[in-house]
Amino acid sequence: MWPGTPDAATTGCCCARSPTRSCSKSGDCRARPTATPTPAGNVPARHFLPRRPASPINRPGARRLTCWAQTGPECRRCGSRLCGDDNVRTQPHHQHLASRRIAARVAGGVDTAADLAASIGRRLAADAVVAVVNGAESDLGIALPDGATVSIVTVGTDAGREVLRHSTSHVLAQAVLELFPGAKFAIGPAIENGFYYDFELPDGATFHADDLERIEATMRRIMDADQAFVREECDVATGLGVFADQPYKREIIERVDASEVVGDGTVSLYRNDGGFVDLCRGPHVPSTGKLGNFALQKVAGAYWRGDEKRPMLQRIYGTAWESPKALAEHLERLAEAELRDHRKLAAELDLLSFPEELGAGLAVWHPKGAMVRKLMEDYSRTRHEQGGYDFVYSPHVAKSVLWETSGHLDFYADGMYPPMEIEGASYYPKPMNCPFHMMVFKSSTRSYRDLPQRLFELGTVYRYERSGTLHGLLRIRGFTQDDAHIFCTPDQVVDEVVSLLGFVLSVLRAFGFDEFTASLSTRPPEKSVGSDEDWGLATDALRNALEREGLAYDIDEGGGAFYGPKIDVKVRDAIGRHWQLSTIQADFQLPQRFDLQYVGADGARHRPIVIHRALFGSVERFFGVLLEHFAGAFPAWLAPVQVRVLGVRNDHDTYAERLVDRLAAEGYRADWVRAEEPLGNRIRRAKLDKLPYVLVVGDDDVANGTVGVNPRGGNVERDVSVDDFVARLAAAVESHV
RNA sequence: GCCCGAGUAGCUCAGUGGCUAGAGCAGCUGUCUUGUAAACAGCAGGUCGUGGGUUCGAUCCCCACCUCGGGCUCCA
């Protein structure tokens, strides 16, 4: 890959591993969240409303509420309209409408959105958190303008949860300011599954774990008090006055884009009866009593505005849900993710380790882990061989001139290990394989008849990752890429990418993934190389490939590297987390840097296009993802030990040993354990090792040539003939289940 | 890199400014001869992450370093 941009390491061409940190132990997706379209109805938390629509009829006295059916949405299940006839009070629609959003147009008398909800039904009123009035989220207490289209957002929806998480973060801030006089508070948004709030404590003090309990208790008291969130609007000067001793709030008021925030000189605040006031666009739940199903989770440092040159603030993370049940389920998901943690499983199953003596981010593979890895690599090699790739190898170090030509020393030096000085030259450990593959291509004159040429290598690279970013196998300093560079003519790009994407998905499916999403990153608006024609061609090729595969994708407009567009493929794992694995990336730049040429049919020299691509991304990272996906229970074709044979008594050991010999002779991985301890215990060990099959053999089996089969996750079966079992095993291995 | 937290036997964890630092599991040695997730007994195993400092005395307090964990992106 071409290091191109300063963030090349994280934009990830085939050589750049996925930038992701894994899901935190908390079970949040380990893949770095990518820009995905906001789901319908999931209105992002906004903190400054556009000014309330001018309404001439804020007539508080008006009690009569007339709504009529919104003639738009129909129920997706029954097809009926959302509301009744004209002049009929709006009714909550069928319970099966997951969102339970109510649409109505208000005419005549005006009430608040809360009144509207109440008039529709008690359940709706109880579940309501905010309203969407003429497309803008508002507090329920907002007076409804005449003719407004209103929907009520309830707690059990994405939008509803976002509001209650945001409101919970406000209560967190209220509690912290109460408990830590002099604390400064910064921002507190809702995030996926929860919220956080950033603080600066006086004299550089920090939060400690036991502080969370105190803070949580104070928050519960505030919620029990059911304090109303009251919106106020004021001008900038007043706002600055309110937050005279809150520098972060002042900075927000002063610095945020004028058009968005103070376009008409209005700043919105929320004040509650507890005497707490926060700068906030809103909306909020009506009162703190609507909250309560939350938990504070952890404390972390976070730079103000994510800028490491700015002060580091103290961040408290929490999670909040609409019901105790939803909260409990979330906490269970976290526990489940923790059980699958690849670092824990790798140690328990004796797969690999990170000895301190090696240095951070460097692993050694133990025999069982190495067997799984070998099987993965063998499979990859077989598929690449079938796929028309040529295999190459390259050394681990190269002189500085190579990295100067490639541009790595200009753009990627921070990610490289420092050089070794030998015989007057500087040798750098390689952070990427691409320059070597360029050299292979350049080693002789290439004809258009040779193209596309696909050079593949399981190439081990070393990158200096900042110490704080290391994370098990998912972010590591020495790792191996299943890296290939495809050299092709411009008019081969389309077909090549189409077949490549099919190849990628086919290989990923073979490893047990069956749900994929992709993103297509296009030309950055500024600073990119290559002609519009090249970009158009390559981008269309990528898009075509995605559409032909029927792969859902989003477009990351301008998110490509400056040297070419790319596709990133993400998989969904067994517990619903998404991981970015594969990447396919077009490159117009590296061929120029290395002055690559081929002789065309016209006898002239032309510049090839390079496609970088990786399927696993990093073998280590992919292994880690697989380990979590399977929770350590590798399918038979990948399991380091497929079959364990246990004699009931030690006079069955000979038979057990013969069975193992036969399985080994047929190419299976089997072992046996002497009958020196009770059968139950030996079975237990095999189960803890998550072996696919345990065979128990006793008197009957020795006499009849049978086995007792105890499959992982299945029921024990007695008197199975050895041939039957072998056939079953063969089928499982063959089908990768 | 920065903030917070952690580091005691292979693993999971107790424990203490003052005698030779404990347990379970794993390991080893015996005994047991077992039909589907934990037989019994014994033995061995630790420079309490590393290096400095304070102290009569440090695994414990202080400092530095190393390694690990969480976070530093989703912008009131």
- Give the per-residue pLDDT at A152: 84
Cβ atoms of residues A458 and A619 within 8 Å: yes
Residue A649 CB lies within 7 Å of the nucleic strand B: yes
User: Looking at the predicted structure, is the pLDDT value of residue A41 above 80?
Assistant: no
Percent over 90 (pLDDT), chain A: 53
| CB atoms inside a 10 Å sphere around CB A236 | 15
Residue A278 CB lies within 7 Å of the nucleic strand B: yes
- Give the per-residue pLDDT at A263: 52
Q: Which residues contact A445 (CB under 8 A, 6 or more apart)?
A: A597, A599
Q: Which residues contact A534 (CB under 8 A, 6 or more apart)?
A: A490, A588, A609
- Give the per-residue pLDDT at A28: 33
User: Which H or E run contains A345?
Assistant: helix A342-348
User: What is the distance in angstroms measured between the alpha-carbon CA of A653 and the sugar C1' of B34?
Assistant: 13
Nucleotides of B under 7 A from a protein CB: 1-5, 7, 11-12, 26, 31-40, 66-76
- Give the per-residue pLDDT at A350: 93
Q: How many helices, marked H, and strands, marked E, lie in chain A?
A: 22, 34
Confidence category of residue A113, pLDDT binned at 50, 70, 90 = confident
Confidence category of residue A264, pLDDT binned at 50, 70, 90 = low
Joined together, the tokens standing for residue A114 give: 């809360």
Residue A611 CB lies within 7 Å of the nucleic strand B: no
User: Looking at the predicted structure, is the pLDDT value of residue A629 above 50?
Assistant: yes
Q: In what order do the strands lie in the sheet with A425-429?
A: A397-399, A425-429, A420-422
Residue A469 CB lies within 7 Å of the nucleic strand B: yes
Residue A10 CB lies within 7 Å of the nucleic strand B: no
Cβ atoms of residues A387 and A503 within 8 Å: yes
Confidence category of residue A68, pLDDT binned at 50, 70, 90 = very low
Distance CA A723, CA A730 (A): 10
Class of residue A37 by CB neighbours under 10 A (exposed 0-12, middle 13-18, buried 19+)? exposed
The DSSP result for A190-246, as a single string, is EETTEEEEEEE-GGG----HHHHHHHHHHHHHHHHTT-BEEEEEEEHHHHHHHTTT-
Mean pLDDT of A589-611: 94
Give the amino acid at A313.
L
User: What is the distance in angstroms measured between the alpha-carbon CA of A477 and the sugar C1' of B15?
Assistant: 37
Percent over 70 (pLDDT), chain A: 83
Residues facing A612 on adjacent strands = A485, A585
Q: Put residue A359 in one of left, alpha, beta given phi > 0 → left and psi -120 to 50 → alpha.
A: left
Give the amino acid at A405.
T
Q: Which residue has the tokens 């006031």?
A: A277
User: Looking at the predicted structure, is the pLDDT value of residue A13 above 90?
Assistant: no
Distances (CA, A) of A656 to A347, A596, A675, A725: 29, 60, 10, 14
R_g of chain A computed on alpha carbons: 31
Distance CA A571, CA A39 (A): 19
- Give the per-residue pLDDT at A51: 28
CA dihedral A613, A535, A519, A412 (to 10 degrees): 60
User: Looking at the predicted structure, is the pLDDT value of residue A46 above 70?
Assistant: no
pTM: 0.84
The average confidence (pLDDT) of chain A is 82
Which 25-84 residues of chain A approach strand B with CB closer than 7 Å? Answer: 25-26, 28, 32-33, 44-45, 47-48
Mean pLDDT of A525-554: 82
pLDDT in tens, A377-410: 999 999 999 999 999 999 999 999 999 998 888 8
Give the amino acid at A703.
A
- Give the per-residue pLDDT at A116: 80
Distance CA A409, CA A447 (A): 31
* pLDDT, greater one: A186 or A93: A186
pLDDT in tens, A232-259: 888 888 888 999 999 999 888 887 644 3
In this structure, the strands spanning A352-353 and A390-391 are unpaired
Which residues of A belong to the active site? 434, 463, 481, 483, 485, 566, 612
- Give the per-residue pLDDT at A256: 60
Joined together, the tokens standing for residue A173 give: 């801030």
Longest Cα–Cα distance in chain A: 96
Distance CA A634, CA A733 (A): 11
Joined together, the tokens standing for residue A557 give: 């407009």
pLDDT in tens, A270-318: 988 878 999 988 789 999 999 999 999 888 889 998 888 888 899 999 9
User: Looking at the predicted structure, is the pLDDT value of residue A160 above 50?
Assistant: yes
Q: Which residue has the tokens 């006079």?
A: A651
User: Looking at the predicted structure, is the pLDDT value of residue A720 above 50?
Assistant: yes
Distance CA A163, CA A281 (A): 12
- Give the per-residue pLDDT at A332: 87
Residue A177 CB lies within 7 Å of the nucleic strand B: no
What is the number of alpha carbons within 13 Å of residue A626 lying toward its C-beta?
A: 24
Distance CA A244, CA A250 (A): 7
Joined together, the tokens standing for residue A369 give: 């882990």
Mean pLDDT of A88-108: 37
User: Which H or E run contains A369?
Assistant: helix A367-386
Distance CA A683, CA A699 (A): 18
- Give the per-residue pLDDT at A356: 84
- Give the per-residue pLDDT at A36: 32
pLDDT in tens, A300-311: 889 998 888 888
User: What is the distance in angstroms measured between the alpha-carbon CA of A625 and the sugar C1' of B10?
Assistant: 26
Cβ atoms of residues A160 and A129 within 8 Å: yes
pLDDT in tens, A566-584: 999 999 998 888 899 999 9
Residues facing A198 on adjacent strands = A315
| Helix A367-386 / helix A619-629 crossing angle, nearest 10 deg | 110
Where are any strands of DSSP class E within A557-679? 566-572, 578-587, 598-599, 605-606, 609-618, 643-647, 670-673
Distance CA A154, CA A98 (A): 10
- Give the per-residue pLDDT at A255: 73
Distance CA A683, CA A689 (A): 10
Q: In what order do the strands lie in the sheet with A266-272?
A: A229-235, A266-272, A277-279
- Give the per-residue pLDDT at A260: 39
Class of residue A434 by CB neighbours under 10 A (exposed 0-12, middle 13-18, buried 19+)? buried
- Closest nt by CA–C1' to A344: B11
Which 204-223 residues of chain A approach strand B with CB closer than 7 Å? Answer: 206-209
Report CA A346 to chain centroid distance, whole Å.
Answer: 21
Residue A525 CB lies within 7 Å of the nucleic strand B: no
- Give the per-residue pLDDT at A45: 32
Helix (H, G, I), strand (E, B) or coil at A177: helix
Mean pLDDT of A88-101: 31
Joined together, the tokens standing for residue A225 give: 């008090």
User: Looking at the predicted structure, is the pLDDT value of residue A624 above 90?
Assistant: yes
Q: Which residue is nearest to nucleotide B39 (CA to C1')?
A: A678
Residue A198 CB lies within 7 Å of the nucleic strand B: no
Distance CA A230, CA A614 (A): 53
Cis peptide upstream of residue A39 (ω within 30 degrees of 0) = no
pLDDT in tens, A438-478: 999 999 999 999 999 999 999 999 999 888 889 999 999 99
User: At residue A520, what are phi and psi to the nearest 5 degrees?
Assistant: -115, 120
User: What is the distance in angstroms measured between the alpha-carbon CA of A362 and the sugar C1' of B63?
Assistant: 29
Cβ atoms of residues A284 and A170 within 8 Å: yes
Confidence category of residue A5, pLDDT binned at 50, 70, 90 = very low
Mean pLDDT of A107-126: 73
Residue A187 CB lies within 7 Å of the nucleic strand B: yes
Where are any strands of DSSP class E within A448-590? 453-462, 478-488, 516-521, 553-556, 566-572, 578-587
pLDDT in tens, A139-157: 888 777 777 778 888 888 8
In this structure, the strands spanning A670-673 and A643-647 are parallel
Q: Is the dihedral of CA A247, A252, A255, A258 positive or negative?
A: negative
User: Looking at the predicted structure, is the pLDDT value of residue A522 above 80?
Assistant: yes
The DSSP result for A246-292, as a single string, is -HHHHHHHHHS-HHHHSTTSEEEEEEETTS-EEE------SBGGG--
Mean pLDDT of A9-19: 34
pLDDT in tens, A642-696: 999 999 999 999 999 999 999 999 999 999 999 999 999 999 999 999 999 999 9
